[in-house]
Chain A
Amino acid sequence: MQSKILILRFPAEASQKPLVCNLARSFELTFNILHAQILPRKEGLMVLELSGTRENFRKGLAYLESEGIDVQNAGQEITRDESRCTHCGACTAVCPTAALYVHRPDMAVVFDQEKCSVCELCVPTCPTRAMCVTATKTEKFFE
């Protein structure tokens, strides 16, 4: 099984197609829509948690690419600048997926990128601005 949170960017011409439905029906992938938005020029943006077997996951992604969808791995969109993090814990108040949590008993603040839904709430909440929205690296993800 593979489960990843993905950011899908739909060009205007693709936003009318039932792509997510096809992902579920043709590739037996389970989806959970975390965020969806149609932008003013009709392009779409969707944050999707997608789970399935490794093979189906790969096929599903290939299908999205063939439809002209830009797919990015959400888990790599928020990063922590370790030199700025003071392990105070303020971010854990707002993180909805517990990607940021306090490890006990040492009380260190852990950032688990795998669980991050890229809601970005931690970015303005972090007092020392350690949480950054960074450019996604997608090369490794599609290998």
Chain B
Amino acid sequence: MGTFEVNKTYREINDRIASGRAVVVTAEEMIDIVENDGPVKAAQRVDVVTTGTFAPMCSSGAFINFGHAQPTIKASKTWFNGVPAYGGLAAVDCYIGATEPTEEDPLNKVYPGNFNYGGGHVIEDLVAGKTVHMRSEGYGTTCYPNRFFEKDLTLADLPQALLCNPRNGYQNYNCAINTTKKTIYTYMGTLKPRMGNANYCSAGALSPLMNDPCYRTIGLGTRIFLGGGVGYVTWWGTQHKPQAPRTEQGVPTTPAGTLFVMGDMKQMKPEWLRGASMRGYGCTLSLGLGIPIPILNEEMARFTGVKDSDIFTQVVDYAMDYPNGVSRSYGQVSYEELKSGSITVEGKVIPTVPLSSMVRAREVAFILKEWIERGKFFLGEPQFLLPGPS
């Protein structure tokens, strides 16, 4: 890091937000600004760049405290609408994970399984205000004698419900193909034989971590858009890998940084938390997440000016290589190519299929922009930054 021509602090930007003078643009709008004016002028003019993504994020879930029953219970096993939650915590605390299917789900017994309902759907139903059936079992103690407890409840009845996702917002992800002769069903969607399609899952130039590729502004305490409410980055996510290979501009070319995020479910909205079913793979949660990037200096302006043509990923075979832990790339492609509708791999033109919604990602960035412009949302200055590339 050198010295910069433009130097702004979080406090200065927040003061501008408070007075309604902050200049906020989305990451897509920032591309032209940086291209036309250069990073220094862009940094002088723009205070915050908003990002967004909306995609299935399997490492998601919620801590739920459901309040005490009478007589009291140490709920060692709990189900919500038949979906098991982990109960190895204090008496009436549990954690429901997004990928947990209902206990009666036939899974892949008839392949490919449909996985119609799971933890992600419970979270969506709760946030939508729907009634959810809860059932708990305990083994009985002197202090918690109850062995069975069930009730219908809504999110409003819960003392606490905290979305707590150990890995969200993956900075880049593989583009998946299938080189075999049979269709396969993966967490990257349906992949037709003989490289019939190539599936990818990133918002590219709108994606949060692509706009701060070296984590210069994101860390514990970064305030974010999470599931339609306000949440926080609380740690680096599991599998956070800052040492991933990068382009000259610092953008990783393989999956790299990840985020650990939390937020109060009671503020969230069901359109931004969607239970999802990936055929043959399982249940998950599609989630809207957006991060405001403070333009502290011209370096941040340059980072947020990133275009789809600057961002690359690897084409990976999900039939033979990925399941066997073989690290092999069938080629590097840009998000500009991926979004164009086809890529060329080993001389073959393959139609591309997105799994990450650009329409929703753009909406997240616009909502966040509006919140900031209206003075409803202020930047959270991180206590420490995510571990970055050395």
Contact = CB atoms under 8 A, between A and B. Distances in A.
Given A89-B355, A125-B279, A127-B284, 13 more contacts: A87-B358, A88-B355, A88-B356, A88-B357, A89-B354, A90-B190, A93-B191, A93-B192, A93-B197, A106-B358, A124-B114, A127-B277, A129-B277
B189 interface: yes
Contact of A102 (B116, B276, B277, B354): B354
A104 interface: yes
A84 B286 CA distance: 12
Interface in B274-289: 274-279, 284, 286
B268 interface: no
Given A104-B340, A124-B279, A87 B359 contact: yes
Nearest to A105: B339
B122 interface: no
24 contacts: A87-B357, A87-B359, A87-B360, A88-B356, A89-B355, A90-B190, A90-B353, A93-B189, A93-B192, A93-B197, A104-B340, A107-B339, A107-B354, A107-B359, A124-B112, A124-B114, A124-B277, A125-B189, A127-B277, A127-B278, A127-B284, A128-B277, A129-B116, A129-B277
A97 interface: no
A136 interface: no
Contact of B274 (A90, A125, A128): A128
Interface string B85-118: 0000000000000000000000000001010100
B341 interface: yes
A62 interface: no
A11 to B, nearest CB: 31
Interface in B206-230: none
Nearest to A93: B353
Contacts of B199: 90, 93
Contact of B353 (A89, A105, A108, A124): A89
Interface of A: 84, 86-90, 92-94, 102, 104-109, 124-125, 127-129
A136 B190 CA distance: 28
A106 B366 CA distance: 14
B80 interface: no
B378 interface: no
A89 B357 contact: yes
Interface in B353-377: 353-360
Interface in B249-283: 274-279
B266 to A, nearest CB: 22
A93 B198 CA distance: 8
B274 A86 contact: yes
A89 B357 CA distance: 7
A137 to B, nearest CB: 26
B195 to A, nearest CB: 12
Contacts of B275: 128
Contacts of B359: 86-87, 106-109
A86 to B, nearest CB: 5
Nearest to A90: B189
A106 B277 CA distance: 25
Contacts of A125: 189-190, 279
Given A88-B354, A88-B356, A106-B359, A94 B190 contact: yes
A129 B277 CA distance: 8
B191 A128 contact: no
A32 B377 CA distance: 58
Contacts of A124: 112, 114, 277, 279
A7 to B, nearest CB: 24
Contacts of A89: 353-355, 357
A107 B275 CA distance: 22
Contacts of B284: 127
Nearest to B274: A128
Given A93-B199, A108-B359, A88 B192 contact: no
Given A93-B353, A108-B359, A127-B276, A86 B286 contact: yes
B355 A90 contact: yes
Nearest to A92: B353
B295 interface: no
A84 B360 CA distance: 12
Contacts of B286: 86, 88, 127-128
Interface string B131-166: 000000000000000000000000000000000000
Nearest to A84: B274
B278 A86 contact: no
A125 B358 CA distance: 19
Contacts of A129: 116, 277
Nearest to B360: A86
Residue of B54, B56, B279 contacting most chain A CB atoms (<10 Å):
B279
A93 B278 CA distance: 13
A107 B197 contact: no
Nearest to B275: A128
A86 B276 CA distance: 10
